[in-house]
Amino acid sequence: MTDHKLPGHPHFAYRGNDLFAEDLMVSELASLHGTPLFVYSKAAMLSALAAYQRGFAGRDVQICYAMKANSSLGVLQVFAGAGCGFDIVSGGELERVLAAGGQANKIIFSGVGKTRAEMRQALAAGIGCFNVESEAELDVLSGVAAAMNLRAPVSIRVNPNVDPKTHPYISTGLKGNKFGVAHEDALRIYQHAAALPGLQVAGIDCHIGSQITETTPYLDAMDRVLDLVASIESAGIELEHIDFGGGLGINYNGDTPPEADVLWRQLLAKLDARGYGSKKLMIEPGRSLVGNAGICLTEVLYLKPGEQKNFCIIDAAMNDLPRPAMYQAFHAIVPAVAGGPAPATTYDVVGPVCESGDWIGRDRPLAVNAGDVLAVLSAGAYCMSMASNYNTRGRAAEVLVDGSQAHLIRRREDAQDQMRHEQLVAE
């Protein structure tokens, strides 16, 4: 039987009418574990990682998975096992990495608002580097580290002022963003950092945005960062590494981002041409490692025909899949078992949450009946990690597929789980 691969999802394919995740039929996973259910392919994660590794063959590069994309322990374990470091943005993420077997010295700590407690926690754990985002944060970090008789390794996140040509909410390298320090202030701020007693300048960092599908913004950002490396080093401050952030996009809806290895061959050629080919590199990819390694299975509860719109009401909602409500994002939706009633009908696919913003797909032609299982694609990144309990809906279960084995990596949350930290006022 021939496999019909899903675009962008090499490890999810139809065999006959049945959608498979690696060697497992997803409709069986849905009946076994219930819906909504996130299903991840381990092979898909590792092959996304391998694309980066191919691009970096023979180079000194640390890949730090940006775990905000998907911070489930079973997912972190895959990347820790493959030798990855992690990009974290909170003390909670640090605890998760350590619980999943990640190495502290391969952790970089990003984010504009680290608290003193988080700084102490990360210093005590011995993380690899703090990516500092403001002058005020440098002063606080130096004080916290000095009080522990330590020097905190730091990179300063510089804002290259390059337009990544992506959604405004996920573009971070432009002047009006809250992230990083301005290009023109960077040298002065590095000089300030080098003079602080609790800091050890280690590198330079930049991240220009997310879901980037073009190569040019990356090449431009690299040029701007290398200009700064030259001026900082000629002021006598040595930079051991360049952290080039994450941001590479995936195919949600016919998007054509460059392959990681193709992109990095171009970026490395630029580094070589400018004489920085032997500098240690770090990168922080999130979405491109997990986005198309996951789908969300959901059951059709009701079909509701209407004068203007037909609605397909499913049991997953904006609390499980927040991206459409937040960014008008597109996720493809396909049946777990193809060959439903012909011809297809055009539906708005919506969840049970009491908000008009609770839609998962608009104007989708679907051949479905109530009770059918649908798969929402490209759901590996920024879905479960942004899931909420709105409407007291428990967060979904998650399964990691490895060949013909399915591992439950998160059981479904129930109402008792949600009420655990609450109490009634004593009367």
Please report, as a single letter, which amino acid is at residue 16.
G
Indicate the residue among 180 and 394 with the shorter CB distance to ligand LLP: 180
- Return d(Cα 43, Cα 260) in angstroms, integer: 17
- Return d(Cα 369, Cα 345) in angstroms, integer: 11
Please report, as a single letter, which amino acid is at residue 396.
A
CB of 56 to ligand LLP, least distance (A): 16
Q: Which of left, alpha, beta for 245 (phi over 0: left; psi -120 to 50: alpha)?
A: left
Indicate the residue among 247 and 294 with the shorter CB distance to ligand LLP: 247
CB of 262 to ligand LLP, least distance (A): 16
Nearest to residue 296, comparing CAs of 192, 207, 191, 385?
385
List strand residue ranges (DSSP E) for 211-293, in order. Answer: 241-243, 280-283
Q: 423: burial class by Cβ within 10 Å (0-12, 13-18, 19+)? A: exposed
CB of 355 to ligand LLP, least distance (A): 18
Indicate the residue among 333 and 336 with the shorter CB distance to ligand LLP: 333
CB of 61 to ligand LLP, least distance (A): 15
Q: 318: burial class by Cβ within 10 Å (0-12, 13-18, 19+)? A: buried
CB atoms within 10 A of CB 277: 12
Q: Which ranges of 71-113 does DSSP label H, i.e. alpha helix?
A: 73-81, 91-99
- Return d(Cα 68, Cα 53) in angstroms, integer: 21
Indicate the residue among 252 and 347 with the shorter CB distance to ligand LLP: 252
Indicate the residue among 111 and 198 with the shorter CB distance to ligand LLP: 111
CB of 210 to ligand LLP, least distance (A): 3
Task: Exactly one of 84, 206, 312, 354 is catalytic; name it.
Answer: 354
Active site residue 354: yes
Positions touching ligand LLP (CB under 6 A) are 66, 69, 87, 110, 170, 172, 207, 210-211, 245-248, 284-288, 323, 327, 382
Q: Which amino acids are annotated catalytic?
A: 354
